[in-house]
Amino acid sequence: MLRQNKKIKGKIKDKLPLLWGATAAVVALGMIVHSVSMFHLFELTPDFANFYQATYLIAHGHLYPFDTVFPHNYPHYGFPFLKSHGEVFTWALAPLIWLSPSGVALLVAQDLAIAGSQLLAALCIHAILQKRGVVTEVITTLVFVFLNPWYYFAAFFDFHLEPFALLFLTALIFSYIDGKRYLAAVLAILVASTGDVPATYLVGVGLGLFLISPSKNRSALFFAAFGLSVFVFDSLFHLNEASSLLSRYGYLAGNKAPLNVGSLLVGVLSHPSIAFETLRGNAKYVAPFLGSGGVIGLLTPLGLAISAVVLMGPILVPNATFLQNYDSFQIIAIEPALAISGALVIAWTGKNRERLLAKVAEAALWLSVVSAVVITYPNLLSAKDFNATVTRGIATDLSRTLRKIPNTAEVIVANGVAGRFAARRLIYPIVSFQNIYVPIWSHTTYVVVSTQGISDPTAMQLRVISHFLLSESGSVRALINTPTVSVYEINSKSVGYYLRFPPTA
């Protein structure tokens, strides 16, 4: 009977990869449905517009696109997209615009990357826990991978390259553990191609894998050295213009420009108490990210190193600005690493002859499960908090407006609904229309203002803006003028001047 039970369990164990594949497919389908809904409701902000503009221009032959999206750079009004974060992987995504000119394929690709990361993490855990029970693997994989809310939060907010970095990073860890070192090296290059921030993930992974077995994993130091080199290169050649180092970390160096990695280090070493106060204030926001991936993973050098590196940047930004639900895409890299690291702990301790460590590991596993449920899962209740609440009626008006605007025209658009308007060379998303100068570079310019979305004008401010535009000159024509959406067409004989929006109460 005992032998028969083992045989049955063995068959179930062999079928688990199929279960994880099916689960990942269901997850991908669910995220795609959500993304398509988000797309049709115009719940896409400048983060999506940034990549949509770049891929659209690249797909149409502009191989060195200019980025006009980031509103916090006004009055600079843009820079070459490559200087945003050194995100060269964007060029590989440009063919998606040929398949889907509307840009929705970008969101679908992001969803597939996230589901793919989950599947790879699940398969890696399966490989590590081959000699452990079915229940242990199922609990580890379901709780720390497929029921981990941070994966889904990353898909709820616009489009970013971090999910692709996550896919490559998870594949790298799996490949290296599986002995496929050359494949891991190729994957490291792909991780770095997604930008300067994901390149730093390689430092944590490289150090973590090396410290697991310094004598056998010396080659892992290549990842750390390569990731650090890419980050330094991007900093030296100003391929991180969108990082806004001064506004985020300037306090560490006394808010003095020019600001770079060196001046930040000097500032932290000179006045460590300033950084410590920020760390202390933001510490409580870190627990959900660690708990969801499994705190048991912190018992390994890999889990500890990747967590330290990935969290270092966000935790030093005052007021936990980058530790909120909508910024999980910047921290998500720790989730598969922690889950895989937790599986390593369980596998290692299972080899202990006296079974004491195995019992301790099992207890740690259940403690991690409890922490995930109690600390992290409540965040699911606020999963929609950061989505722009755009009604279907307004989305219909915006869709009708978008169809009327030619791709050659310049568009000035409210920040919270800017995403889908970015298929053009000139788009200026506006966070606040108060007392701001916007350049007019096209003979035909459209101004799109909506009171629905993230950081958009109030109804009263919209009335002030509408009155201002209509009183400008006879060259302004109102296409839509409602209490919630206003669209204006500006026909200018001259270009190269600035339109100044008045201050509003």
- What single string gives the DSSP state of each residue in 357-392? HHHHHHHHHHHHHHHIIIIIGGGGGGTTTTS----H
Instruction: Give the chain's largest Cα–Cα span.
Output: 90
Which carries the bigger pLDDT value, residue 383 or residue 480? 480
- Structural Rg of the chain based on CA atoms: 25
Q: Please give the Cα distance from 17 to 12 (Å, whole number).
A: 10
For 446-461, what is the mean pLDDT? 70
What pLDDT is stored for residue 123 in this prediction?
Answer: 97
What pLDDT is stored for residue 52 in this prediction?
Answer: 98
What pLDDT is stored for residue 326 in this prediction?
Answer: 72
Q: CA-CA distances (angstroms) from residue 185 to 172, 173, 181?
A: 8, 10, 6
Q: Which of 214-218, 359-363, 460-464, 501-505 has the highest mean pLDDT?
A: 214-218
Angle between helices 301-315 and 196-212 (to 10 degrees): 150
What pLDDT is stored for residue 223 in this prediction?
Answer: 97
Provide, rounded to the nearest whole percent, the portion of the chain with pLDDT above 90.
45
For 474-493, what is the mean pLDDT? 82
Non-local CB neighbours of 133 within 8 Å, separated by 6+ positions: 9
- Least confident range from 100-104, 131-135, 227-231: namely 131-135
Which carries the bigger pLDDT value, residue 75 or residue 67? 67
**Angle CA 326–327–328, to nearest 5:** 95
pLDDT-derived band of residue 12, with 50, 70 and 90 as boundaries? confident
pLDDT-derived band of residue 460, with 50, 70 and 90 as boundaries? low
For 407-423, what is the mean pLDDT? 91
For 269-283, what is the mean pLDDT? 83
Q: Phi then psi for 76, rounded to 5 degrees?
A: -70, -35
Q: Please give the Cα distance from 443 to 306 (Å, whole number).
A: 50
What pLDDT is stored for residue 2 in this prediction?
Answer: 44
For 402-417, what is the mean pLDDT? 90
Q: Please give the Cα distance from 297 to 339 (Å, whole number).
A: 6
What pLDDT is stored for residue 133 in this prediction?
Answer: 79
HSE-CB for 226 with a 13 A CA cutoff: 21
3-state secondary structure of 100: coil
Mean pLDDT, rounded, of the chain: 85
3-state secondary structure of 183: helix
Question: DSSP code of 161?
Answer: S
The answer to whether the predicted template modeling score (pTM) of the entire model surpasses 0.85 is: yes
Q: Report the relative pairing of strands 410-414 and 427-430 from DSSP bridges.
A: parallel
For 131-138, what is the mean pLDDT? 85
Where are the extended beta strands (E) located within 150-297?
none
Q: Which one, of 416, 402, 388, 391, lies nearest residue 480 by Cα?
A: 402
pLDDT-derived band of residue 206, with 50, 70 and 90 as boundaries? very high
Count of other CB atoms within 10 angstroms of residue 491: 13
Q: CA-CA distances (angstroms) from residue 229 to 168, 234, 298, 313?
A: 18, 9, 26, 17
pLDDT-derived band of residue 1, with 50, 70 and 90 as boundaries? very low
Non-local CB neighbours of 234 within 8 Å, separated by 6+ positions: 85, 86, 196, 199, 240
> Does the bond joining 163 to the residue before it have cis omega, within 30 degrees of 0?
no
Rounded (to 5) percent helix, strand, coil in the chain: 65, 10, 25
Residue 358 reports pLDDT greater than 80: no
